[in-house]
Amino acid sequence: MAKIGVIGAGSWGIALAKLLYKNGHEITVWSILEDEIEMLKVNHEHKTKLPGVILPREIMFTTDLKKTVDEKDILVLAVPSPFVRKTAKSMAVLVKENQIIVNVAKGIEEESLMTMSEVISDEIPSANVVVLSGPSHAEEVGRGIPTTIVIGAREKKIAEFIQNIFMSDVFRVYVSPDICGIELGAALKNVVALAAGIADGLGYGDNTKAALITRGIAEITRLGIAMGGKTETFSGLSGIGDLIVTCASVHSRNRKAGYLIGQGKTMEEAMNEVQMVVEGVYSAKAAMGLAEKYKVTLPIIEQVNKVLFENKPAAEAVKDLMLRDKKDEYQSLPW
């Protein structure tokens, strides 16, 4: 049995807390929100973010960050990506040397262009940061629906240790050394999912969505390889796997926000209606910053930025994508 602190009581943190408890571990869950913790203590259910998922009474809930971090074998950092740096900064004075921190947030920091593991390492240099990603909606993980993910770590023994902690008959875990590729796929699929949602909101069909998924993974792979990620990662769980589920699922907040934008709502109106952090909005600008830094073209992500931040009509963005210069699908293939 491991002692595990889950930092963040949103849908993903709660779903993982339940999974880890069922795997036989001692779980403490932290939130900065007193009302949220009180609701969890009283109801043993997150009524707003994960309704219907009943939590074991043995899981501890607290607003005391020190109590959550102290003497834990593993910390799971499950706050939304815009809050990762602030939370890591608060944790830094409490974390022991070489503490394993499993980051499950997906995003790129707009100002620094850092991935979430880089942000955590920047604030807590002594930590051993691991990443967890893949096609895994909290709504399904919380209900015990079979799910497969990948763990990325610098050392194989650490990856395998975390693999054993999370693995169950409904949660299959693979390991990989490609932290960069895993995190980039996880962050940028949210931006492409916004595009897929916009297409749905415009009333387009399966042909359009398939095109966005296929060409979207091509963009993510181009940038990922330029940044040092591995080709295999983008054809795996945290690449095409996560992209498919996020573009297609009714649980996807990014797809839902895009759908509302496609129907004519502004970015702000869409985010307010979703009532959860739409991480693709925060990663979209950062993706273009990375594209400029690494001299990579990202036409879909570029058009998403124009729709989000320059009030470009969504239908016009789709038209501009369709009428780009003619190209070979793969320039490396010989005739």
Q: Given 189, 209, 230, 285, which residue is catalytic? A: 189
Nearest-angstrom CA–CA distance, 276 and 212:
24
How many other CB atoms are found less than 10 A from the CB of residue 297? 11
Q: What are phi and psi of 172, to 5 degrees?
A: -90, 135
Active site residue 319: no
Nearest-angstrom CA–CA distance, 196 and 132:
24
| Contact residues for 199 (Cβ-Cβ < 8 A; gap 6+) | 208, 209, 212, 258, 262, 318
Residue-wise burial string across 282-296, b where 16 or more C-beta atoms lie within 10 A, e elsewhere: bbbbbbbebbeeeeb
For 295: left if phi > 0, alpha if psi spans -120 to 50, otherwise beta; the answer is left
Nearest Cα neighbor of 19 from 125, 185, 136 is 136
66 three-class SS: helix
Q: What is the largest CA-CA distance in the chain?
A: 67
Nearest-angstrom CA–CA distance, 113 and 173:
28
CA 60 to centroid of chain Cα atoms: 25
Residues that are catalytic: 189
